[in-house]
Amino acid sequence: MSKTYLKTAFQNWMRKQKKANGEPYSSNTITSYINALKNASSKLELENIQQTDLFYITNSTEFEDIYPILTSATNFDEVDIATSKKAFSYALILYAKFLKELEEPSCWIFQGNPKYYDVIGAVNDLNQIKWAVNQNKNQIKKGDKAYIWLSGSDGGIIAVGSILCDPGITEPDLNDPYNRSDNLNKEPYLAVEILIQRKLTTNLVKRTTLLADERTKRMEILTFPGATNFRVTKEENEVIESIISGTYEQVPVSTHTAVTKNDKKRYWIYAPGEGSRMWEEFYDKGIMGIGWDGLGDLKNYPSKEAMKTKMKEIYGDEYSYINAGHLTWQFANEMQIGDVIIVKKGLKKIIGRGIVTSDYQYDDTRNEYKHIRAVRWTHKGEWDHEGQIVLKTLTDITPYTDYYKKLENIFAEEAEEELNTDDDEVSQYESYTVEDFLNEVYIDEERYNTLKNLLLKKKNLILMGAPGVGKTFAAERLAYSIMGEKDTNRVMIIQFHQSYSYEDFIMGYRPTEKGFSLLKGPFYEFCKKAEPDDRPYFFIIDAINRGNLSKIFGELLMLIENDKRGKDVRLLYSDEQFSVPKNVNIVGMMNTADRSLAMIDYALRRRFAFFEFEPAFDSDGFKKYQAAVANEKFDRLIDTVVTLNSVIVEDASLGKGFRIGHSYFSTNETIDDEWLSGIVEYELIPLINEYWFDEPSKVELWTGKLRGTLRD
């Protein structure tokens, strides 16, 4: 059996598949299929099948051999039915399809930096070339198609070839005439041989051409260039081939406003017509609707601006239509199935509640209110609203957590089961692996394992480091890597400050129009959310040292200890026993340049593990990113900052905690003179002015050196 394990790859593949009716598979179905492939075979009790976890089977021929053995087992039907809706038999069929597709040739881009390697010279002179494999080592294989990419703002594809072998360890060629770097491939490294079939050095497929096409603008090489190997999708490959063959027809980059779908449900306050006159009809028909019928189908408009322009054309240009355009855009594009609708009448009454069950529809058969969505109305009646309700027809109140929860409580006595504010169905999230973490966060695998083990063992971790070393970014990615997916529903980020209190963090009384109400804070809510779930949750606190920690945590200071997790304590403001669940991990961040470090008392220090992040200019990850940028001024600036950091370390009034971090220079934007000048003038120079406010000669010296790196 192969040592390769395809569970995650199959899961990602399933997320892109469609059922016969064109709908995607739900997360629950995917989970059922994965569990069946992993566990069901062991229940067949077949003596001639030693490996029952089918994800270790990585080629279609082997799977074709084992498939009839599995399905002919005497108890196969019994085991299949037990997997819920025959998940096992369906999963076997899909896994066979998955393996077939996996063996089909894939397409990759291999990137080279002319500063470190004479890519053009090598392509022109050679028919076969060796290339390092630093990413996707388990996916790149013999027979795959390969494009060779010249990095830099004027770069692009300069050759097309075919991969002659699977990735393997190769010895460095210390006499390689095309090598321009003293540090490139001096030790044995993972690589493939590429047969060059077409050379395009005099007529390259330009990076700028791909950026200007809607189908290729988000290619991996363009959106995250700091790597060596990149996937190319089937559509991207077709566009590239059309450019090479001369049959290319550009699809210009769309000007449509991007519509972002939220992972969590939203809550909306809604008025069903003037004076709520449409409420009875909408309730009876199970719909909600808005006016502005003259616009026609709202899906025909690429942006809010386009909607407002049409409104001025139809209804007159004496108004700005800011609110109207926002309303129609949200109703058509931002509202989602599963969102909760709270229906209002006037400024003081709530008259209903429902759950959205369809996408936006334009119903031209209606006489009015032709823009509709289907809704399952759960409540109808009349309830008093505390204070004045917002005036607008449709208002997203999701950001106001306390407010929408108070509105939900109005319906509590009538239908308690409807008040579950968390979705029962598992949401679908993008996969995130350890390899993804190492590609994005500039530390090596050994330090990553240390970091992860510290957190999982201690449950409480503080990331320390100079400003700009990427602590917050790393904390969030660490959580994703442990979860195996970007499940934003299990991660919360807050920031402490000097005025932050127990009442803000756990619970406390806050003023309302009728006096004071006991409201729960984010940590209380997060713990309650994590309590019924076995999966890990991550509570991330930025600037953790800026708050009075003993005051903020209160009696919970004891409960966050690893061996105290799950134990109860009575809360200060509530006659309630409360515990911190074992699956809640706390990650704090603090700048070592912060003067308030001394505020961390010893009681808290004992409860946290500490891990220091340092500027990563010398790391392999940053060097790859720097090589991909391929900008001489950028290189000079980095060299100057590294030297500046050495001076900062030696300064008795500063020290290593004040070094400048690499995050200042990490970006997905195009790095040009304007971008570099902005970093120097508005981030680095103000920082050294603050560091050496009493030493103007030092400020003048380093200001000159930083600006000097950008001169031609």
Task: Take residue 392 and report the two structure tokens written for it.
Answer: 């607008």
Report whether 629 contacts 225 (CB < 8 A).
yes
Beta bridge partners of 130: 193
What integer pLDDT is reported at residue 418 of this predicted model?
39
Q: Which has the minimum average pLDDT: 443-452, 514-523, 572-581, 589-598?
A: 589-598
- At residue 359, φ and ψ (nearest 5 deg) are -75, 175
Mean pLDDT check: name the lowest of 264-268, 420-424, 532-536, 631-635: 420-424
Q: What confidence tier does 417 reach under pLDDT thresholds 50, 70, 90?
A: very low
Radius of gyration of the chain (CA): 30
Q: What is the mean pLDDT of residues 323-341?
A: 91
Lowest mean pLDDT among 161-175, 200-214, 325-339, 623-637: 623-637
Examine residue 424 and state whether it is found in any structural domain, yes or no: no
* Position 251 in a domain: no
| Domain around 83 | 7-103
101-155 tens-digit pLDDT:
777 778 999 999 898 899 999 999 999 999 999 887 877 889 999 999 998 878 9
In-domain check, residue 458: yes
Q: How far apart are CA 682 and CA 373, in angstroms?
A: 48
Poorest-pLDDT segment among 274-283, 399-408, 495-504: 399-408
Q: Kindly state whether residue 250 falls inside one of the protein's structural domains.
A: no
Give the CA distances from residue 356 to residues 23, 141, 359, 655, in Å, rounded to whole numbers and listed in that order: 18, 46, 8, 57
Tokens 């009442």 sit on residue: 503
Average confidence (pLDDT) over 4-19? 81
- Say yes or no: 119 and 71 in one domain: no
Task: Answer yes or no: do 275 and 189 share one domain.
Answer: no
The per-residue pLDDT of the chain, averaged, comes to 85
Residue position matching structure tokens 């108070």: 406
Between residues 422 and 218, which one has the greater pLDDT?
Answer: 218
Residue 574 and residue 660 share a domain: no
Give the residue, 160 or 576, on which the prediction is more confident.
160
Higher-pLDDT residue of 478, 263: 478
Domain count, the chain: 5
CATH number of the domain enclosing 552: 3.40.50.300
Question: What is 172-224 written as a DSSP string?
Answer: --TT-TTB--SSTT-S-EEEEEEEEEEE-TTS-EEHHHHHTBTTTTT-HHHH-
Q: How many residues does the chain have?
A: 712
Residue 531, pLDDT score: 82
Given a cut of 70, whether residue 596 has pLDDT beyond it is no
End-of-domain residue from the set 558, 579, 613: 613
Beta-bridge partner residues of 108: 146, 231
Q: Which residues of 37-50 are buried (b: 16+ CB within 10 A; e: fewer)?
A: bbebbebbebeeee
371: tokens are: 């823009």
d(CA 42, CA 56): 14
How far apart, in whole angstroms, are the C-alpha atoms of residue 676 and residue 548?
A: 38
Asked whether residue 262 is domain-assigned, the answer is no
The residue among 62 and 256 whose pLDDT is bigger is 62
Instruction: Give yes or no: residues 272 and 379 share one domain.
Output: yes
Is the predicted pLDDT of residue 421 greater than 50, yes or no?
no
One domain, residues 483 and 505: yes
Which of 371, 391, 419 finishes a domain? 419
> In terms of domains, do 443 and 571 share one?
yes
Q: At CB < 8 A and 24+ separation, what contacts does 187-192 make?
A: 189/132, 190/132, 190/133, 190/134, 190/137, 191/130, 191/131, 191/132, 191/133, 191/167, 192/130, 192/131, 192/133, 192/140, 192/146, 192/163, 192/164, 192/165, 192/166, 192/167, 192/168
The answer on 365 and 238 residing in a single domain is no
Residues 440 and 394 in one domain: no
pLDDT above 70 (res 358) = yes
pLDDT of residue 540: 94
Q: Please check whether residue 692 lies inside any domain of the structure.
A: yes
pLDDT of residue 425: 41
CA quadruple 193, 197, 202, 207: dihedral, nearest 10: -70
pLDDT at position 544 = 85
Q: Which of 568, 594, 613 is the last residue of a domain?
A: 613
Across residues 60-78, what is the average pLDDT? 89
Read off the pLDDT of each residue in 289-293 and give the average, rounded to a whole number: 93
First to last CA, the chain: 58
Please give the structure tokens belonging to residue 657: 């905690």
Task: Show the CA angle centred on residue 176, arms to residues 175 and 178, nearest 5°.
Answer: 140
Q: Assess whether 570 and 640 both reside in one domain.
A: no
User: Does a structural domain hold residue 609?
Assistant: yes
Please, which residues have CB within 8 angstroms of residue 672's CB and are 6 or more apart in sequence?
Answer: 153, 631
Tell me which residue has tokens 């392509």.
Answer: 123
Q: Nearest CA to 1 among 45, 46, 43, 52?
A: 52
- Assign 193 a pLDDT band (cuts: 50, 70, 90): very high
Q: What percent of the chain has pLDDT over 70?
A: 92
Q: How confident is the model at residue 82 (pLDDT cuts 50, 70, 90)?
A: confident
Structure tokens at 225: 């260039």
Q: Are residues 631 and 565 in the same domain?
A: no
Q: Do 284 and 318 belong together in one domain?
A: yes
Tens digit of each residue's pLDDT (9 = 90 or more) over 509-532: 877 666 777 778 899 889 988 887
d(CA 597, CA 256): 47
pLDDT at 539: 95
Q: How confident is the model at residue 156 (pLDDT cuts 50, 70, 90)?
A: very high
What are the Cα distances from residue 37, in Å, to 100, 214, 375? 16, 38, 37
Count Cα neighbours of 650 within 13 Å in the Cβ-side half-sphere.
6
Looking at residue 32, its pLDDT comes to 85
CATH of the domain at 336: 3.10.590
DSSP secondary structure of 231-279 = E--HHHHHHHHHHHHT-----BPP-PPP-PPPSS--EEEE--SGGGTTH
pLDDT: which is higher, 457 or 467: 457
Range with lowest mean pLDDT among 68-82, 261-275, 287-301, 431-445: 261-275
| Same structural domain, 374 and 481 | no
- Residue 184 in this model has a pLDDT that exceeds 90: no
212-257 confidence digits (pLDDT tens): 888 898 788 886 666 788 889 888 999 999 999 999 999 887 644 4
- Domain assignment present for residue 317? The answer is yes
